[in-house]
Amino acid sequence: MPSGNVHMTVGGLGFLVFLYFTELWHLIYLFPVAVLYSVLPDLDANISPAAVFVRKFCLSGLLLGAVAWYVVPNFWVGVFTMGCVILLVMQVFSHHRSFFHSWVAAILLSLPLAVLGWEFVLVGFIAYIIHLGLDGELFNKGLLS
């Protein structure tokens, strides 16, 4: 299977499709999304750099979310904090190449990008699907497995 560097390179280049659809300066924001979502399916691999990053980010997010909720109770603070909880629980109970290597995960993890714009959703989804294709798991599994 390809390494994380291959996933990031190919996924990062996948965002170039949007050169036709958007302005050049907008790609500065799309590139990090493409790179992040190209390694996101490996969240369930304990030693994956993506898993380590997300675990640290979510643990920090829980702490910051709890403090922010105490100071200023806000709907979006709650959503962010619950998102961190859900990702951490999924990381603990998911086996490598299970749920996170599915079409459903690609859709569910790309949809939150809608708050940033449709381009972000598409770039995230495409980078995620490219990862599944590089792993050879794009069409040989069921919808949820």
Question: Are 26 and 87 members of one domain?
Answer: no
pTM over 0.75: no
Give the span between the Cα atoms of 70 and 43, in whole angstroms. 29
Question: What is the domain range of residue 52?
Answer: 47-95
| 55, 72, 95 - which closes a domain | 95
Q: Check if the beta carbon of residue 12 is closer than 8 Å to that of residue 38.
A: yes
> For the chain, how many structural domains are there in total?
2
In whole angstroms, what is the distance from residue 80 CA to residue 134 CA? 30
pLDDT digits (tens, 9 = 90+) for 14-66: 666 666 666 666 777 777 888 788 888 887 777 777 777 778 888 888 888 88
User: How confident is the model over 65-103, as pLDDT tens digits?
Assistant: 888 878 887 777 777 787 778 777 877 776 666 778 888
The secondary structure element, H or E, covering residue 12 is helix 4-14
Same domain for 54 and 116:
no
Q: Based on the domain organization, do 67 and 85 belong to the same domain?
A: yes
